[in-house]
Structure 1
């Protein structure tokens, strides 16, 4: 028996990194999953790994129509939708305000917020009717940057704080039928990329930044997590028997809120 037996979920940004790890863990816990990603090649890999337990949808989270089609696919393929996981995102590679021109701030804001914030809103709206039918839940991927500075630059940190606001507002609006929560992981080496308008779409976070080293040195637990290390929180929030009373919460699972202690000697 898995925690998500007989349940169906939709995960955006599911082709790689954290999104793919969520899909894999949800399937292991008994769920059927719609994997939503912009990359058809990555989706083929996900489907080949999981077979009929996963349906795939190639589209753009910035499109209301694509979100609606992905949610409709879940109901068509699995007869229901219990959990919408908004996970697709962009990073700004720590671009500071001073390093950014007014033009790049404007274009970068439009592109990054369209994925990190609007994509969550459109997905939640598209999933709403199906989630009300099942008494389901929404889970949004945030970041330690939703609580603390320096998890990115001004654009990324602002977008993740906006996501935390969405969790609270949507939890208020959608209660009592639909629970809404967030998960705030820390750093991990993935294929996370940046806005094309800033010239950051061809490099992944792991290629540009010594993230494993930073996590080993600056996080309280002194190790470099993989995406798989973070996915338990998503299972918890997707499983009503385990989180029936939880809505409007953001689980900070980054280990950055605890000061790093000197353990030498």
Structure 2
């Protein structure tokens, strides 16, 4: 640990599991105070209890699609810890690579509305709720992006479109909030996380972590070209620390750090995805 975030206060949406929980624990270990927001108070409280210093972490139950919930969370963060230095928009869902040709028109429409309302609108509303406090602190926003923000087939068309939208949102806000607030992103590759799917496709009970849990010791390693690449969310957190730190990343804004184990340079599974049509 570096202590790069000593005295900082951060707010992380979707902090009850996966990369959100891992970043929250890492930020506390780096000296920050952290508020985690999400659905499921028990899961949030467990993250707090297992942090390096539970007195410097606070959980707030809320929905990132709710303006009132986000504004209340920002206000409570400032009331408890006195300031807000870092916002990490992170709450999201995956479409489990449901292809255009495998969905009905109704499924496509309803899934788009549900997934975009969390993955894109949730980010936008979180930034709107937080920007006045971030201007005061000369703070920063660190968005959780994805390899699907940069390349295709990291999800189906709906997820990929949502993450491309988040990349554009990050760049636009980097322009609009400069020079007082830095805005960057971390484009994560595949990881062992409790990321769920949309209820409109009956995937809200399915977790990416389940597929990892079902792998045997003889199962092939994840398809990452770097042999020592990890799929543990904890090992993706370093870039979040770097980008949050004024002292280490002061001139950096509008940038997405790719942390995907080389998936982007390797490419994905095949040259064409419609061979079966």
Q: Which residue in the other structure is 1:146 paired with?
A: 149
Match of 1:247 in 2: 253
Alignment of 1:47-58 (within 5 A): 47-50=48-51, 51-58=54-61
Please say which of residues 216-225 and 56-65 is displaced more in the overlay. Answer: 216-225
The DSSP-based 3-state class of the residue aligned with 2:169 is helix
Query: Counterpart of 2:21?
Result: 20
Partner of 1:180: 183
Shift in alpha-carbon separation, 1:93–1:215, aligned structure 2, 3 A = farther
Deviation for aligned residue 1:190 = 1.0
Structure 2: segments with no counterpart, 5+ residues = 268-277
Q: Which residue of 1 aligns with 2:272?
A: none
1:209-248, Cα deviation, whole Å (9 max, x unpaired): 7898999352221344200110000000000101001100
- Give the paired residue count: 260
Q: Which runs of 5+ in 1 are unaligned?
A: 261-265
State the match for 2:203 in structure 1: 200
Distance 1:63 1:198 in 2: 22
Of 48-57 and 59-68, more deviation after overlay is shown by 48-57
Q: What secondary structure is seen at the aligned counterpart in 1 of 2:247?
A: helix
Cα RMSD (Å): 1.8
Quick check: 1:109–1:155 contact (8 Å CA) kept in 2? yes
Report the equivalent of 1:235. Answer: 241
Cross-structure match for 1:259: 266
Residue of structure 1 in register with 2:3 after alignment: 2
Residue of structure 1 in register with 2:169 after alignment: 166
Post-superposition offset of 1:38:
0.6
Which of 207, 216, 219 in structure 1 is aligned with 2:221? 216
Q: Distance in 1 between matches of 2:246 and 2:221?
A: 34
2:38 corresponds in structure 1 to 37
Contact 1:188/1:211, CA 8 A, preserved across alignment: no
Residue 73 of structure 1 deviates from its aligned partner by 1.1
CA contact (8 A) 1:193 1:204 kept: yes
Q: Relative to 1, partners in 2 of residues 1:103 and 1:209: Cα closer, same or farther, differing over 3 Å?
A: farther
214-223 vs 175-184, greater mean Cα deviation:
214-223
Q: 1:168 to 1:205 in 2, by over 3 A?
A: same
> In 2, are the aligned partners of 1:107 and 1:197 still within 8 Å (CA)?
yes
Counterpart for residue 263 of structure 1: none
Worse-matched range after superposition: 235-244 or 213-222? 213-222
Alignment CA distance shift 1:71-1:215 (3 Å): farther
Structure 1 pair 4/120, CA: closer, same or farther in 2 (3 Å)?
A: same
